[in-house]
Structure 1
Amino acid sequence: MRSRPATGLPEIDAGLEARLADGLAAVDARLREVVDHDDPFIAEAGGYLVNAGGKRFRPLLTLLCAEAAGDADDRVVEAAVGVELTHLASLYHDDVMDDAELRRGVASANVRYGNSTAILVGDLLFGTASRVIAELGAEAVRIQAETFVRLCAGQIRDERGPAEGQDPVASYLQVLADKTGALIATAARYGALLGGGDEAAVATLTDFGERLGVVFQLADDLLDVASESGDSGKTPGTDLREGKATLPVLYARSSQDPEDARLRELLAGPVAAEDVPEALALLREHPAMAQARQRTVELAQEARGLLASLPPGPAVDALDRLVEGVALRSA
């Protein structure tokens, strides 16, 4: 049986797979280099989540989009590093805000180092990401700044919830576009730009990246409910305990069926730890799950449809498989 490729993408062109694997290795080495510090404690804390591993999904997308756009130069690795550092920095902050206990199978940074240090290390990594991106020129810096603004705006809107009279589902999807989609769009955009793509290709791949990011988060939301063993990287029902109104929760809340009264009661706010098993059991059997899966598949199909305007080739085929694989995680 063929072993799973280092890229995590099955059945892709062998030459492309080798180039991507080499690129990811270069990204990983460079990440460790730039988070190093002459203060041993800062070096340890800054490299904590780097060393914990992860899929390197965003760097992979940057490398793939460079391939799809044309012929990337060496700067694509720096762009991928900048994007991943931005992502890692946001995780330090997210874990403080969520009072998380685990991240990537290890104690979260806030548990290991305390909230104040975790926030400061996140800030340090944001600064490091900006320093890396600055080497790519003024346009790259502007993109990085705009992305950071969207990340923060999305987080603020997520904390506040939808405005009065605003459709909760539309509001949630916009939050995901900002919180998750914006950085994944930037990963794709940097790849397209450094791959020498024309204006149309850059716009298409950026749009593709944002839609892919929304699908990525929607699939995670579904896994939080559907997973039995925590294979998604967190304990099932984490979002319910934190009171997050994810897509299946929003659909279930909107039900008018009297038989759903208990589920609506449980989902009205954060679910108490002792009630999580009941809430999960009820939600797993509710039509809201199928409705949320269908919406995820539809958005994935929209993302895949964008690729039709690009010149065909192994990289575009791999992008198609990537979005399909992301969506199927929730099936």
Structure 2
Amino acid sequence: MNSSETLPPSVDNGWATRLAHAMHEAVTAQDAGLGRTAGELIRHGGKRLRPRLLFLSASLGEADEALLVHAAAAIELMHVGSLLHDDVMDGATTRRGAPSVNSRWGNAHAVTTGTHVLACAMAELAHLPHGVVSTVTEAAFTLCSGQLRETEHVYDVDLAVDEHLEIIRMKTATLFGLPCRLGAELAGCDPGHVDALFRYGQQLGIAFQLTDDLLDLLGDPVDLGKPTGTDLRAGVFSYSVLLALRQTPGGRLAALLRHENLSAREASEAAALVRRSGTVDATRELARTYADGAAAALAELPEFPGRDALAVTARRTASRME
């Protein structure tokens, strides 16, 4: 899926090109060396899903396109910076089908580059109204708190599923709800409509993460652009894994996952145990529930140019693992 595939003609007006330029300018403005590394990551692209959510949401009202680009750049840079930090914590060797920054230049360089990118995201906020800056700052705190909570629970086979879902809300759903809210706010939308779009984004984000975690268990590494089983080996246990652990506490799966540095064979065995437990289907069903919640929030809104594309995004997210 390319950056503008789901955008209706009235919304797709070259924003992806302007966004890429704004992000490149942001990361190279202060430090050329760090900018080169960050710029390479930006050139590898990705779906640009979060900026797309912002532009689609903004089509509910009227907004200054330059402000939308700065807001989209800030959000996508926050996302890129968090990925750099995640890759270090997970020991990831690839990202989007290419060697990860930490595998090429080491953890110290990856962490420094990630922090640089996050600082660049904050610099983009200088172009935005004060109220919007406060919204993004609050989201940044939530994102960091979610990352900390996840770190506190690595290799925790007793992690409650409710706590796991709260971590997803903080880490992933925050960066889905934020662009929807910002797009609507910058477009001058009614507060009730802003709230509905924010809820759409948050529900979508949880559905997205649940299915993404399933891909780590079941997906094709070539299609994903990264190895599968990464989260298992890093001690970050998904909803399916936690449900499977509840079924047989103290069993073979728990014995495998209690210790660090799983071998490839052990990780494969653990993944097979999870698949046989039946919890993959339960995870799919929960993802559909959250996707339906996103659609329900969208149904509260009047017709607008981006509405159908947002609805399609929710449906596609729920069907990624069907």
* TM-score > 0.5 by shorter chain: yes
User: Using the alignment, how far apart are the partners of 1:108 and 1:303 within structure 2?
Assistant: 32
Tell me, in whole angstroms, the C-alpha distance in 2 between the residues paired with 1:167 and 1:5: 37
Is the counterpart of residue 266 in structure 1 residue 256 in structure 2?
yes
CA shift at 1:277, angstroms?
Answer: 2.4
Deviation, 1:230, is: 4.1
| Cα displacement (A) at 1:134 | 1.8
The one-letter amino acid of 1:262's match is R
Q: 1:301 aligns with which of 285, 292, 315?
A: 292
User: Distance between the aligned counterparts of 1:256 and 1:276, measured in 2?
Assistant: 18
Q: SS of the counterpart of 1:54?
A: coil
Shift of residue 268, structure 1, vs aligned partner: 4.2
Q: Distance in 1 between matches of 2:191 and 2:294?
A: 18
Structure 2 distance, partners of 1:225, 1:202, is 35
Unpaired runs of 5+ in structure 1? none
Contact 1:249 1:267 in 2 (8 A): no
Give the corresponding residue for 2:205: 213
| SS across alignment from 1:293 | helix
Give, in angstroms, the shift of residue 39 of structure 1: 5.0
Amino acid at match of 1:204: A
| Structure 1 pair 267–142 and aligned structure 2 pair: CA distance change class (3 A) | same
- The question of whether the paired residues in 2 share the 8 Å contact of 1:225 and 1:236 is answered with yes
Q: TM-score, normalised by structure 2?
A: 0.91
Aligned pairs (5 A) from 1:165-244: 168-244=160-236
SS of structure 2 residue aligned to 1:47: helix
Alignment deviations for residues 270-319 of structure 1 (CA, whole Å, 9 cap, x no partner): 54322222222332233111011111111111111111110024411111
Q: Which stretch of structure 1 is more off in the superposition, 319-328 or 111-120?
A: 111-120
In the alignment, is the contact (CA less than 8 A) between 1:7 and 1:21 conserved in 2? no
Change (3 A) 1:42 1:159: closer
Distance 2:136 2:221 in 1: 37
In 2, Cα distance between the equivalents of 1:31 and 1:252?
Answer: 41
For 2:5, the aligned partner's letter is G
With over 3 angstroms needed to count, the CA separation of the structure-2 counterparts of 1:49 and 1:6, relative to structure 1, is: closer
Q: Summarize the Cα distance change of 1:256–1:52 in structure 2 as closer, same or farther, 3 Å threshold.
A: same
Q: Distance in 1 between matches of 2:150 and 2:219?
A: 24
Conservation of the 8 A alpha-carbon contact between 2:3 and 2:47? no
Higher mean displacement: 90-99 or 265-274: 265-274
Number of matched residues?
Answer: 318
Corresponding residue of 1:83: 75
Matches within 5 A, 1:1-331: 6-9=3-6, 13=8, 15-16=9-10, 19-20=11-12, 22-37=14-29, 39-67=31-59, 69-74=60-65, 75-161=67-153, 168-256=160-248, 261-270=251-260, 271-331=262-322
What code does the residue aligned with 1:190 have? L
Do the aligned partners of 1:56 and 1:84 also contact (CA within 8 Å) in 2? yes
What TM-score comes out, normalization by structure 1 length? 0.89
- 1:137 & 1:5 partners in 2: Cα distance? 30
Instruction: Summarize the Cα distance change of 1:25–1:100 in structure 2 as closer, same or farther, 3 Å threshold.
Output: same
Letter in 1 for 2:75: V
Q: Which has the higher contact order (CA 8 A, sep 6+)?
A: 2
- CA displacement 1:198-230 (0-9 Å, x = unmatched): 110111111111111111111110111111444
Residue 329 of structure 1: how far off its partner (Å)? 1.1
Distance 1:116 1:167, change over 3 A: closer
The secondary structure found in structure 2 opposite 1:254 is helix
Matched to 1:209, the amino acid is G
How far did residue 71 of structure 1 move? 2.1
- List runs of 5+ in structure 2 lacking aligned partners: none
Measure the CA separation in 2 of the matches of 1:156 and 1:203.
27
Instruction: Assess if the C-alpha contact under 8 Å between 2:173 and 2:201 holds in 1.
Output: yes
Provide Cα deviations, 1:52-93, integer angstroms capped at 9, x if missing partner. 2111111111111101x2122221111101100111111121
Q: Please tell me whether the aligned partners of residues 303 and 323 of structure 1 are also in contact (alpha carbons under 8 angstroms).
A: yes
| Distance change in 2, residues 1:256/1:115 (3 Å) | closer
Do 2:98 and 2:225's aligned partners in 1 also have CA atoms closer than 8 Å? no
Paired residue secondary structure (2:214): helix
Using the TM superposition, give the Cα deviation of residue 173 of structure 1 relative to its aligned residue in structure 2, in angstroms.
0.6
Q: Which amino acid aligns with 1:311?
A: P
The DSSP-based 3-state class of the residue aligned with 1:117 is helix
Measure, in 1, the Cα distance between the counterparts of 2:221 and 2:90. 21
Q: CA deviation at 1:5?
A: 6.3
Equivalent-residue separation in structure 2 for 1:137 and 1:118 (angstroms):
31
Distance in 1, matches of 2:200 and 2:125, equals 22
What is the aligned-residue RMSD (CA, Å)? 2.3
What is the percentage of aligned positions where both structures have the same residue? 35
Query: Structure 1 counterpart of 2:243, which letter?
Result: Y
Q: Structure 2 CA distance, aligned partners of 1:46 and 1:227?
A: 27
